Amino acid sequence: MQYISTRGGMQPQPFSETLLEGLAPDGGLAVPERMPHVDSETLERWRALTYPQLAAEVLGLFATDIPREDLARMTADAYAAFPDAVVPLHSIGDGITLVGLSEGPTLAFKDMAMQFLGQVLEYVLEKNDGVLNILGATSGDTGSAAEHALRGKDRVSIFMLSPQGRMSTFQRAQMYSLDDANVHNIAVEGVFDDCQNLVKHLAGDIDFKRAQRLGAVNSINLARITAQVVYYFWAWLRITDAVEPEYRTGFEVSFTVPSGNFGNILSGFFAKQMGVPIRRLVLAANENNVLDEFFRTGIYRPRSAADTHATSSPSMDISKASNLERFIHTLVDRDPARVAAAWAELDENGFFDFSAEQPRFESEFGIVSGTSTHADRVAAIRSVYETSGEVIDPHTADGVHVARSFVEPDVPMLVLETAKPQKFAETITEAIGIDLEYSDDLRRMLDAPQHVVEMPDDEAALRAYIETHAQH
């Protein structure tokens, strides 16, 4: 399996090289030359596997340059700290089942991919006798998941940008309480999109990128996307365990995915292309609903930092979705010239227009969308608690609210849970009037000294900081 750029300017390269590159040299994103396919017989054979075993099988279709036994060891190590089920499923009534993705060390779905990424990065760097300086941006959960996966690793340093004052108290504590020498937290004046722009500018400077040995852990890193594909397979297998064997082939389910940067739902799009019988992929946006507008109209118009709302589902406070480019690449029949032209139009006019293609979004790809507001998510948290006893976080609540509009008879609706509610205690208290309990370890984390460098939205200042602190 080889990987190419969405914009056509990268020679095909194997998974391991793509892993270290992050953004492609031409500014595009790495995509498989062809999508692997899994037939129904293979799906049935995989039904008996544990989650780490399934991860090795699915990732083995993408990382063909890594021996399967090495992948199996890495996936076993990646999920060793999770409960045995790794990804439990819970029905909450009304035809909706939650896919539990927050059992990892930082209590968020980002652990599912990041724990594997930490393993495979270390593996590749040891093979190459290299070092890597990770530059990333976070709206809340990516940063803590990446830092906890990479902390203390000899060959990796991580520089994580976060927007000042835009994350929950818990999210800040998870990141800023770390004091490992290879972890550098940088709080940028601005919003997530400003942080992401800084990452893209530095990653797009090939000379600087190579001199400082920069890599990525944001979902522009294809390893993140492929690792997330696994739980779509897992969820389909578990929901169909109760289906009579003769009816399992082609048994369709739908997934609703709270989405900001389009990475998590893109993994579902990959899974659907690979052969998982997915009827619909429902994108759930918060008030920063640029992606909902795109999938309803075909016009993609990112908002400025000033027009990006600070909401009670802060990890989705994103107005420029990096991974949308990978979907557009498929939409234009993998024509890199049309992808490059769309982003040139975006740079020039502030939007691009695929309204002529919009009917295909649902008819061909099964993607639909909706928006949730603060009132909607509070109501969803309350109703789920009252009917099932489950306490869900605000982002999952966005998913539940939007999913309710797309539930169909005899088609299970799976909502991807994104985080434990403890990360967003104020909204939970507002919704259901209870104070969530914290373990002693979490209390110590919340009370620990915080280590963070504050910085203006200044590319030169960031360059200087990285030059001073990077590994070489």
The whole-number pLDDT of residue 111 equals: 94
Nearest alpha carbon to residue 471 among 31, 95, 150, 80 = 150
Secondary structure tally for the chain: helices H, strands E: 20, 15
Q: Are 260 and 320 in contact (CB under 8 A)?
A: no
Query: Which pair of structure tokens corresponds to residue 80?
Result: 């060793």
Q: Find out whether 250 and 278 touch, Cβ atoms under 8 Å.
A: no
d(CA 436, CA 426): 10
d(CA 217, CA 340): 23
The pLDDT value given to residue 214: 92
**Is residue 151 within a helix (H) or strand (E), and if so which, with residue range?**
none
Given this model, what pLDDT does residue 20 score?
A: 80
- Name beta bridge partners: 282: 256, 368
Closest listed residue to residue 263, CA positions, set 217, 215, 297:
217
Contacts of 266-270 with CB under 8 Å at 24 or more apart are 266/219, 266/225, 266/323, 266/326, 266/327, 267/225, 267/226, 267/228, 267/229, 267/232, 268/229, 268/232, 269/327, 269/330, 269/365, 269/367, 270/35, 270/225, 270/226, 270/229
Q: Taken in order 399, 401, 406, 408, is the CA torsion positive or negative?
A: positive
- The answer regarding whether domain 89-107+223-432 maps to CATH 3.90.920.10 reads no
pLDDT at residue 360, as a whole number: 97
The one-character DSSP state at 108 is B
Closest CA to 471 of 221, 216, 218, 211: 211
pTM here? 0.93
DSSP string, 205-271: -HHHHHHTTEE--STTSHHHHHHHHHHHHHHHHHHTTTS-GGGTTT--EEEEEE-SSSHHHHHHHHH
Angle of the 68-78 helix axis to the 51-62 helix axis, nearest 10: 130
| Catalytic residue status for 110 | yes
Closest CA relative to residue 417, chosen from 383, 376, 375, 384: 384
How is the chain split among helix, strand and coil, in percent rounded to 5?
50, 15, 35
DSSP assignment letter at 408: B
Q: What is the pLDDT along the chain (472 residues), one digit of tens a residue?
A: 999 999 999 999 999 999 887 778 898 999 999 999 999 999 999 999 999 999 999 999 999 999 999 999 999 999 998 988 899 999 999 999 999 999 999 999 999 999 999 999 999 999 989 999 999 998 878 889 999 999 999 899 999 999 998 888 888 999 999 999 999 999 999 998 899 899 989 988 989 999 999 988 877 889 999 999 999 999 999 999 999 999 999 999 999 999 999 999 999 999 999 999 999 999 999 999 999 999 999 999 999 988 999 999 988 999 899 899 999 999 999 999 999 999 999 999 999 999 999 999 999 999 999 999 999 999 999 999 999 999 999 999 999 999 999 999 999 999 999 999 998 999 999 999 998 888 888 899 999 999 999 999 999 999 999 999 998 8
Whether the CB-CB separation of 134 and 215 falls below 8 Å is answered with yes
Backbone torsions φ then ψ of 299, nearest 5 degrees:
-105, 125
Residue type present at position 347:
D
Cα–Cα distance, 188 to 199 (Å, whole number)? 12
- Three-class SS string for 328-348? HHHHCCCCHHHHHHHHHHHHH
User: What pLDDT, in 10s, does the model give residues 241-288?
Assistant: 999 999 999 999 999 999 999 999 999 999 999 999 999 999 999 999
Task: Write out 361-379 in H/E/C secondary structure.
Answer: HHHCCCEEEEECCHHHHHH
What are 47-106's pLDDT values in tens digits?
999 999 999 999 999 999 999 999 999 999 999 989 888 999 999 999 999 999 999 999
Which residues of 150-216 form beta strands (DSSP E)? 156-163, 183-188, 214-215
180 backbone dihedrals φ, ψ, rounded to 5°: -65, 145
Q: Which of 232, 239, 255, 228 is nearest to 90 (CA)?
A: 239
Given the residues 110, 200, 320, 423, the one annotated as active site = 110
* Rg, Å, the chain Cα set: 21
